[in-house]
Structure 1
Amino acid sequence: MERIKAAAIAGFTVLSAWMGVLAVPVYLLVVTNVIDYATGIAASVCRKEAVSSCRGIRGIIKKVCMWLLVAVGAIIDILAAYTAEQAGITLPFGYAAASLAAIWLICNELLSVLENISQTGVQLPPFLEKMISYLKVQVENLPGENKKTG
C-alpha cells in the first residue's frame, strides 16, 4: 500500500509541476466531472429512468471532450507565448485561455450538479445557483472583450 501511495503522490507531483498554474483548474474540472456524473446517475434513478451503459459512455465521452477543450486552450496559450517570445515580448500571464475554458466548464458542471441534486428531491439553497451563474457570466464578459451594442 505504501508503494501505491508513493506512486500516486509522485504522479500528482509530476503532473502538477508540468501543468503549473493550470493544475488547480484541471483538477477541479475532473472533480466536478465525477460529481456531475454521479449525481446524474442518481437523478436518473430518482426520475425512474433506465441507467444504460450507452448513455453512460456518451457522458464519459462528453467529459473527455471537456478536457480536450482545456487542452486546446493550453495549445492556444503555448502558441501565443511562443509567438510573443519570438517577437521579444514577455506575456504577463500563463495559460489564460485554458484556465478560462476550465473555469467556464466548471461553472457549467456545477450548475448541472445542482440541477441533478434538485431532481433527487434535495432542496437547494437559492444563493448557490445565483453564485455559480454570476461567476459564469463574469467569465463570459471579461473586460476588454468586444461587446455588441444595439
Structure 2
Amino acid sequence: MNFLNKVNMFGGTIMAALAAVLGQYWFLFAGFLLCNVADWLSGWMCSCEKGESCSRVGARGIVKKVWYWVVIAIAFYIGFSFERMGQTIGVKLWFMKFVGWFVLANYLVNEIRSILENLVDMNVNVPPFLIKGLKIAADKIDAAAKMGDGKHGE
C-alpha cells in the first residue's frame, strides 16, 4: 500500500508540473511527445526491416523532432505576443492565439500519419478509415490555415 501511495504521489506531481508548465491542455503536448517517440521507433524499425538503418539517419530523425518542438514554441510565442501587442495598441488580434494550436494540430496529424505509414510499410494491418480520416483532418487544418491568405475559394 505504501508503494502505491508513492506511485500516486509521483504521478500526481508529474501531472501537476505538466499542467503548470503547459496549461490545462498538457495532455496534447504529452501525446505529441509520445507520437514523436512512436514515429521515430516505427521509422527505425521500418528501416531495419529494409536493411537501411544507420545511426546517422536515426540521429537526424531525433534532431528533426526537436526542431518540431522549437517551431511549436515559436508559433505559441507569436500568437501570445501578437495578441498582447494588439491589446496594447487597441487592435483586436484575439485570433492570433490559435496560431500555436494550428501548428500543434498540423504536426500531431502528420506524426500519426507517419506512424501509420510506417506500420503499413511493415505489413501491419491498419484500418483504412484511420488513414483516410487523418487525411481529411489534415485537409481541414490546411483549409482553416488558408482562410486568412486571401486565396480561399479560388
What TM-score bracket applies, with the shorter chain setting the length? 0.7 to 0.9
- Aligned mates of 2:24, 2:79 — CA distance in 1: 12
Residue 88 of structure 2 aligns with which residue? 86
- Aligned mates of 1:90, 1:13 — CA distance in 2: 33
Residue 46 of structure 1 aligns with which residue? 49
Name which of 19, 33, 37 aligns with 2:40: 37
Percent identity reads 24
Amino acid at match of 1:86: T
TM-aligned CA distance change 1:36 to 1:58, over 3 Å: same
- TM-score by structure 1 length? 0.83
Residue 13 of structure 1 aligns with which residue? 16
- TM-score by structure 2 length? 0.81
The answer on whether the counterparts of 2:82 and 2:96 sit within 8 Å (CA) in structure 1 is no
Residue 147 of structure 1 aligns with which residue? 151
- Aligned mates of 1:105, 1:19 — CA distance in 2: 17
Q: Once the 2 structures are TM-superposed, how far is the Cα of residue 38 of structure 1 from its aligned partner?
A: 1.1
Q: Once the 2 structures are TM-superposed, how far is the Cα of residue 6 of structure 1 from its aligned partner?
A: 3.9
Residue 107 of structure 1 aligns with which residue? 109
Q: Could you list the per-position Cα deviations for residues 1-25 of structure 1 after superposition, in whole angstroms to 9, with x for gaps in the alignment?
A: 7767645542441232232255233
Choose between structure 1 and 2: higher helix proportion.
2
SS at match of 1:141: helix
Residue 96 of structure 1 aligns with which residue? 98
Amino acid at match of 1:63: K
Cα root mean square deviation, aligned:
2.5
SS at match of 1:121: coil
Gaps of 5+ in 2: none
Residue 140 of structure 2 aligns with which residue? 138
The answer on whether the counterparts of 2:83 and 2:94 sit within 8 Å (CA) in structure 1 is no
Q: Once the 2 structures are TM-superposed, how far is the Cα of residue 77 of structure 1 from its aligned partner?
A: 1.3
Amino acid at match of 1:44: S
Name which of 30, 44, 49 aligns with 1:27: 30
Amino acid at match of 1:24: F
Task: Compare relative contact order (CA 8 Å, sep 6+) and give the higher one, 1 or 2.
Answer: 1
Gaps of 5+ in 1: none
Amino acid at match of 1:46: E
Amino acid at match of 2:29: V
